[in-house]
Amino acid sequence: MVTNNNPLLELVNNHRLKAIPFDKIKTEHFLPAIEAALASAKAHVEELKKDKTAPTFENTILAMDVEGEALDYATGIFYNLYSAESDSEFKALAQKISPMLAEFGNSIMTDPAIFARVKAIYDLEVTNVPAPSFPIDLADRDALKAAERYRLIKRTYTSFIRNGALLNDIDKNLLKDIDMELSKLSPKFTDNLLGATNAFELHLTDPADVEGIPAGALASAAFMAKQKGKDGGWLFTLQPSSMSPLVTYCKKRANREIMQRAYASRAFNTEFDNQDNIKRIVELRNTRAKLLGFSTHAEYVIKERMAETPETAINFLNRIYDIAYPVAIQEVKETVDFANKTDGITDFKPWDFGYYANKLKEKMYSYDPEQLRPWFKVENVLEGLFEIAKTIYGVSLKQVYDIPVYHKDVTTWEVYDNDSSFLGLLYLDLFPRDTKRGGAWMTGFQSQGLYSDGMRPPHIAIVGSLTPSTDEQPSLLRLDEARTIFHEFGHALHGLMSDCTYRSLASPSVMWDFVELPSQIMENWLLEEEALAYFAKHYQTGEPLPKEYLDKVIAAKNFHAGIANISQLRLGMLDFAWHTTDPKEISDVDAFENAAVERFRLFEPIGGANISCAFAHIFAGGYSAGYYSYKWAEALEADAWSMFKEQGILNPEVAQSFRENILARGNSFHPMELFVAFRGRKPDPDAMLKRDGLI
């Protein structure tokens, strides 16, 4: 055990920003540090149980919130690195650490002495006491703090109930066993998916095999082949930045098929198979929900969401389906007809769709998204994004070079408010590698709020797998990759602009079907002419993006909007199928999935393909029974954005209102109250459908 001079046992180091000493942390530090932090946390719990003084907010609720910070510090770093920078040795630790944490969390939530203290405070300060409402005078910090105090007490009490405090001893033990097993299954699912993703490589050496693929994408593929020690040619992987150009542009149909099949069958019927993990996860989640008095896992989850019931969320998705599905069918028909007319394709397959959809778009709008890459150099996109944030919110970002990082690709940025006060620290980790899971996400290494040594600012990270630079050209992004940066930066601003007292309420720890609002609204600035002027400059000439290109992009904005909506609905409804069905009725993962998605199918199924085995959002992330949140928040975002459009997309007054009412408030109030305070009314349920041109 490494306990002496363990950097994870130093809650803060001596850096001016109290930054994490990544340069000193090694894999062998985590287990002893977490064991030590657990021992300390358990000792605090025992002291609290023995405390004979009357329970108060300060000596119970706040004490638990603050005294777990050392454990949160070490485990937060561990799980962030688990996703972003971990080898097999590191990953193996999760099978030891996750059950330890699950057991500790369960022991607190089911401890009758601790719950009795929490309940006494709840009965005194919440029961029969009107909840503080929003809006509130933001200058009245005492009133804000009182409202947060009420919310934290209520959430703490509810969390105990939802995690077994009222169960009998037998059921508490069963719940503990369930939680510990679930804590192992999610890392297993993640490991299998990453293993399956990394295991596939398509090495092409014949120029005829890559005909049609843009030069920039080929340069990246050639560079990757060189890095992997291949003898020339081009190497393609299942990372989106590598796969997408091939399936969109490669003229050779057989290669599109190889790539599409490989991607669609990740972690299904291979050495990295996730089927047993899925069946066990849904079985345990269902049993857990029933133990706690809910009929399904979906009912359990959505009880604490804006939607409140699965029926409300499902009805919301079904309404979109009724409008979007006929449109999607027509869009598919147009694409199939185009493929037949253009190349005589009479047996249209799923791997033909991206290729011919792109060609159809190009024909209709004289526009190919690949044309935009030279104007989306990653450094320019970031610079422009930061300028937009400065214009609307008054914040500024400064790159710094003396902050320790966990990988050489990571950059660090200090974030300052318009009064030059320090807001927080931002880590950017934007490019793919074998030790990082796919996709993009925002995460926090330190939440804003109250700690044992006072208030601390947030430390936020954006992690992605964007097109990397090569030895011949810089990172030039696809339009959708630029959108990803805007999206994740919206999440980052949510965390950076949090202004709460208690860190467990701080942004972005809000209701899950509200959390995507700040990220999705940020995407809108990407294709606004005023905003593009900040960053869309040719990487070689400095020439601004020609207006004719912008006009074409905007004209094509709703191209295949029906298909895009149905694709998201298919995932949302598949999620609900897994979490509303009795697991005893599920014997075959693939058969169950096929039945669940049948009415959303736009193409014939690919043999050997399976969505669920790679559906990390719901089986290894926080979106179980919550994938609908993307569409739910998009509906909120479309309506919120309309206010910017009405009063100016760079209007600092509108932005300040969004900041004060949405970004800064965290989970201090119900999100509907916050939305109404910003928009002046409840959301327009049709705003998204109108924007997508569907109604």
Q: Mind listing the pLDDT tens digit for each residue in 195-253?
A: 999 999 999 999 999 999 999 999 999 999 999 999 999 999 999 999 999 999 999 99
Q: Identify whether 135 is preceded by a cis peptide bond (ω within 30 of 0).
A: yes
Sign for the CA dihedral angle at 202, 207, 209, 214 comes to: positive
pLDDT value of position 367: 87
pLDDT the model gives residue 68: 85
β 396-400/234-236 pair status: unpaired
Angle, to 10 degrees, between the axis of helix 169-199 and the axis of helix 88-109? 160
Q: Cβ(469)–Cβ(439) under 8 Å? A: no
Strand 459-463 relative to strand 422-429, pairing: parallel
CB atoms within 10 A of CB 466: 22
Instruction: Please give the pLDDT value at position 1.
Output: 44
- What is the DSSP secondary structure assignment for residue 476, as one 8-state letter? B
Give residue 11's pLDDT. 59
Query: Which residues touch 612 (CB under 8 Å, ≥6 apart)?
Result: 274, 278, 574, 578, 589, 593, 619
- DSSP run (H or E) holding 366: none
* Cβ-contact 481, 488 below 8 angstroms: no
Contact (Cβ atoms closer than 8 angstroms) between residue 586 and residue 279? yes
Greatest Cα-to-Cα distance within the chain, rounded to the nearest angstrom: 83
Bridge partners (DSSP) listed for residue 415: 397, 424
C-beta contacts of 245-249 below 8 A and 24+ residues apart: 245/213, 245/214, 245/217, 245/370, 245/478, 246/202, 246/210, 246/213, 246/217, 247/351, 247/354, 247/355, 248/354, 248/355, 248/358, 249/212, 249/213, 249/214, 249/217, 249/355, 249/358, 249/370
Q: Which of 439, 394, 534, 463 is nearest to 81 (CA)?
A: 463
pLDDT at 15: 63
Q: Which residues of the chain have pLDDT under 70?
A: 1-4, 11-16
Tell me if the bond preceding 112 is cis, omega within 30° of 0.
no
Give the DSSP H or E segment for 67: helix 63-67
Contact (CB, 8 A) for 468 and 477:
no
H-only helix segments in 394-478: none
427 token code pair:
């880590």
Predicted local distance difference test score (pLDDT) of residue 329: 98
Phi, psi of 140 (to 5 degrees): -90, 85
For the stretch 134-156, what's the b/e string if a residue is b when 16 or more beta carbons lie within 10 angstroms of its beta carbon? bebeeeeeeebeebbbbbbbbbb
CB distance 491 to 447 below 8 Å: no
Residue type at 514? F
Give me the residue label for tokens 């609290």: 48
Say how far apart CA 553 and CA 624 lie, in whole Å.
Answer: 34
CA distance 486 to 528: 13
CA distances from 390 to 12, 330, 541, 655 (A): 30, 43, 26, 11
Ramachandran angles phi, psi of 676, nearest 5°: -65, -40
Query: Is 488 noted as a catalytic residue in this protein?
Result: yes
Count of residues for the chain? 695
């001079």: which residue's tokens?
5
What span, in angstroms and rounded, lies between the C-alpha atoms of 372 and 375?
A: 6
Domains and CATH numbers, the chain: 7-109+111-162 (1.10.1370.40), 200-264 (no CATH), 275-367+561-627 (1.10.1370.10), 374-555+630-691 (1.10.1370.40)
* pLDDT on residue 67: 81
Are 478 and 370 in contact by the 8 Å Cβ rule? The answer is yes
Phi, psi of 179, deg, nearest 5: -60, -40
Cα–Cα distances (Å) from 162 to 41, 109, 110, 152, in that order, read 22, 9, 10, 15
pLDDT tens track for 623-677: 999 999 999 999 999 999 999 999 999 999 999 999 999 999 999 999 999 999 9
d(CA 223, CA 228): 9
Beta bridge partners of 446: 459
Query: Looking at 299, 370, 481, 488, which residue is catalytic?
Result: 488
Token pair 């965390």 is found at: 495
